[in-house]
A and B are shown apart, each in its own frame.
Chain A
Amino acid sequence: MQHTLTIARRQFRAYFDGPVAYIVVCTALLILGAFFWNTFFLFGRATAREMFNFLPIIMILGAPAMTMNLLAEEKRTGTIELLATMPIRDSAIIIGKFLGVLGLYAVMLALTLTYPYSVARLGDLDWGPVITGYLGLLLQGGAMLALGLLASSWTQNQIVAYFVGASLCFGFWIIDRFIVFMPAGVASVFEWLSFDYHFQSMARGVIDTRDVVYFLSVIGLALGLAFRSLESRRWS
C-alpha cells in the first residue's frame, strides 16, 4: 500500500514537472468555459447541466492524453525495468499509476468548480445535482482514465496509446446512440454498457448504486487487464 502511494505521488508530481498536465488542464478548462458560458448567457438558466454535457466529451480526448505516457513511456525508455524489479507487486504499479492520474483529474475537476460557483453567485443554483454530477464526473472520468491506462499498457508508443485509449473511451460513450437500430434485447445491453446512460442519471441528481457499481466495475476490469498486460512481459 505504501508503495502504491509512493508511485501515485511520483506520477502526480511528474505531471507537473512536464507540460502535459498544464496543457490538458488548461485546454479542458478553456473549451469547457467557452461552451459553458456561451449557453449560460444564451438560456439564462442558473444550472451546471451544460458542463456535465461537455466535460465527458472533452474527457474522451483529454483522458487518453493524461494516461498515454503512463506505461508506454516507461516501457519505451526502460524505466519499467527498474520499477518492476523493485520489491513491489505489479498491481501496486498499476494502481499507483491510476491513482496518480486520478489525482491530476481531481485537480482539474476542482478547478472547474469555479464555473458552478460563479453561477451560484449570479443566480440561484441548486447544488444537489451539481454534487452528484461531480461524483458522476469523477467516476466516469476514472473509468476513462482506466481505459487509457489499459491502452498505454499495450504499447510502447504514446501516440498509439492515445488513439487506442480515445477510441475505447469514445466507444463506451457512443455505444448507446445506436440502439435505435437494434433489437430490444441487444439494445438494452448496449444501453447498459454505455457511460452516458449511467452518467446522465447522476447529472440529474440521482445516485443509483448500480451506476456507481458499473463505473467501479469498468475501472476494476480495465486495471485488471492492464495488470495482466504488464505481467505478460514475464512469459513473453
Chain B
Amino acid sequence: MHEAMIEANGLSKRYGEAYALRDVSFRVNKGEVLGFLGPNGAGKTTTMKLLTCFMAPSSGSARVNGCEIGSDSLGARAAIGYLPESTPLYTEMLVNDYLEFAGQMRGLKGHPLVKAMRRVIEQASLGDVLGKSIGQLSKGYRQRVGLAQALIHEPPILILDEPMSGLDPNQAVEIRDVIRDIGKERTVILSTHNLAEVQVTCGRVLIIAKGRLVADDTPDTLQARAGQVLLELEVLSEGTSVAALKSLLDALPGIRQVQVSADPEAGLLRAVLTPAAGRDGADHAARAAVFRAVSAAGVTLVGLRQLQGSLEQVFRELTLSGPQGDSAHHTHALTDPGNAQALDSVHAETALSDTTPSDATSADAASSGVGAGPAASEPAQKVSSAPVDDPQNR
C-alpha cells in the first residue's frame, strides 16, 4: 500500500447557490504525478485553492501530508510548493531577491537558505537572470522562477496550476522536463488542458467537468477507451442529401454508427463512421466497402481518411456530456473537421509515447474497467448534442 500524500474526501465549494466543486474525492500517493484535466471553469483551480488552503471548502475535507487542511492548515501548507495559475510574482523584485524572500517565508535563513537558493537556481536554470527584475523576464523564465520558489523548501508535494499555459513549444518542453525531474522524487499535481502534456508527464489523470470528478485513471487506459480508429469521408453534396447518405452508410456491414453533417459553403457532406465492435477503421475492408457503396450510389467521394482516437476524444466525451447514463453505446464525440485536425495533431504527439492500441475489443474491455470516477463507466451521450467548440480554445 502506498503512502497517501493527499486525500480529498467529498470536497465541495459553493459560491452562493452555484457549486464550483461538488463532492470530489481522490487520493494521490507518494511519488505520483497527477494530471488535473478539465475545461476552464470545471473546478481544477478551485480544487487546488482548497488543497493549498487559500480557500476553505464548503463541505468535505482533505488531508495533505497527513495534515487536515481545516485544523492544521499551516502544516498542510508547509508541505506544499505551489505555483498558482498565470504565475503571479512581484514583478518589481529581482529574481535573486525574490528567491531569497520565498526562502525566508519558508523559514530558511543563513547557510541553508543560500544552499536552497543555489539548488533551485540550478534546477530551474536561472543562473543567467538572477540580477534581472522579474517583470523583464520572458514568460518561460517567469514560469521557472515560479517553479523555483515552489521548490525552495524541498516540499514533498508540488501543486502546479497550468504550468505550461502560455509557453511556446520550446519553453513548454523545458518546463516539462523540470517537472518530470521533480516528479521522480515528489508528489506532483498539475492542471492543464493540454492533453499531449498529460500523456507525457502524468502517471494518472483526473478529469473534472462542471465541478464533478468524471474520470480517474491512467492516461494509457483513458487513451485505450478511445483507441478505435474512425473513418471520416467527404462527398460532394450534389446528387445526394444528408438523409440519403446516412441511410446508404447505415446499410453497410461492420459500421455501427454514422454521423453525417452538411457543409453547404464547401458543397460537401461529411460523415464520421464508427466501426462495429471487432471491426476497425484501420482495416482495408471497411474502407473498401465504403468506397464501393458510395460510388455504386453515384455519389462523388472526395475524401476518405482515418481518425485516430485520442485522449482528447475521451476528454470531450466526458466533459461535454456530463454524467448521464448511456452505456449501451460507446460513441465517439467527433463532429467537426476542425476538431479532427486537433485530433491529428494530438495523435502526432501521442504516437511517440506508444499508447495507441487500435484493437476495438481491447478498447471496449478497457472502457468497462474504467470505474474509479463516479461517472467514469458512463460514456458519452450522442454526438449530435455536443457543442462543437474546442475545449482547448476556450
B85 in contact with A82 (CB, 8 Å):
no
Least CB distance, B90 to chain A, in whole angstroms: 6
A43 contacts partner chain B, Cβ-Cβ < 8 Å: no
A209 contacts partner chain B, Cβ-Cβ < 8 Å: no
Bound CA–CA A82/B88 (angstroms)? 7
Residues of B within 8 A of A6 (CB): 101, 104-105
B92 in contact with A18 (CB, 8 Å):
yes
Least CB distance, B143 to chain A, in whole angstroms: 14
B15 in contact with A236 (CB, 8 Å):
yes
Bound CA–CA A13/B90 (angstroms)? 12
Output the nearest chain A residue to B103 by Cβ-Cβ distance.
A6
Bound CA–CA A232/B232 (angstroms)? 53
B93 in contact with A14 (CB, 8 Å):
yes
Bound CA–CA A84/B80 (angstroms)? 12
* Chain A residues numbered 40-91 whose CB sits less than 8 Å from any CB in chain B: 77-89
Residues of B within 8 A of A82 (CB): 82, 84, 88-89, 149
Tally of chain B residues near chain A (CB < 8 A) = 30
Least CB distance, A107 to chain B, in whole angstroms: 18
Residues of B within 8 A of A234 (CB): 54-56
Partner of B105 from the list A77, A79, A86 (CB cut-off 8 Å) is A86
A87, A233, A235 — which one has the most chain B CB atoms within 10 A of its CB?
A87
Residues of A within 8 A of B93 (CB): 10, 14, 17
B53 contacts partner chain A, Cβ-Cβ < 8 Å: yes
Main secondary structure of the interface of A (DSSP, over half): helix
A14 in contact with B90 (CB, 8 Å):
yes
Residues of A within 8 A of B74 (CB): 87-89
A77 in contact with B92 (CB, 8 Å):
no
A3 in contact with B92 (CB, 8 Å):
no
Least CB distance, B380 to chain A, in whole angstroms: 34
Residues of A within 8 A of B97 (CB): 13
Least CB distance, A202 to chain B, in whole angstroms: 36
* Chain B residues numbered 68-87 whose CB sits less than 8 Å from any CB in chain A: 74-75, 77-78, 80, 82, 84-86
B119 contacts partner chain A, Cβ-Cβ < 8 Å: no
B77 in contact with A87 (CB, 8 Å):
yes
Bound CA–CA A1/B49 (angstroms)? 25
Supplied contacts A87-B78, A234-B56, 19 more A-B pairs, CB within 8 Å: A3-B104, A3-B107, A13-B97, A14-B92, A77-B91, A78-B86, A79-B89, A82-B82, A82-B88, A82-B149, A83-B105, A85-B52, A85-B82, A86-B105, A88-B105, A89-B74, A233-B54, A235-B56, A236-B15
Would you list the 7 A-B pairs with minimal beta carbon distance, nearest first?
A: A78-B88, A87-B78, A234-B56, A87-B77, A85-B52, A17-B92, A81-B84
